[in-house]
Amino acid sequence: MPAIAAVRSTRVFQPCPRGSELPTCPVCADSMIAAESSAFLSDDVVSYLWTCDTCGYGFVTKHAVKKIS
C-alpha cells in the first residue's frame, strides 16, 4: 500500500511590509486600503488624506521619504 504524505514548507509566511503600515480608523477600527489623496509637502515629506468608508472619519498622515542615491 503506497504512503501519501503532505510536504509543508518550513518557511514562515511574512506579510508584505507595506501591508502592515496601512492605518486603521481610530473611531471604528475598520481597515483602510488606499489614501484618498496625497501631496508632497517638501522634497522628503509626503502627506496622505485618509477617509473611512465605514464611518466617514478623516485624518492625515505624514511620512518621510528616503532619497535613493
Q: Is the pTM of this model over 0.75?
A: no
Which spans in 1-69 are helix H? 17-20
Query: Is there a contact between 4 and 36 (Cβ–Cβ < 8 Å)?
Result: no
Output the nine-digit C-alpha cell for 28: 471604528
30-62-18-52 Cα dihedral, nearest 10 degrees: 20
- Measured in degrees and rounded to the nearest 5, phi and psi for residue 22 equal -70, 135
- Is the pLDDT confidence value at 63 over 70? yes
Distance, in Å, from the CA atom of 9 to the CA atom of 58, rounded to the nearest integer, reads 42
pLDDT in tens, 38-59: 999 888 899 999 999 999 999 9
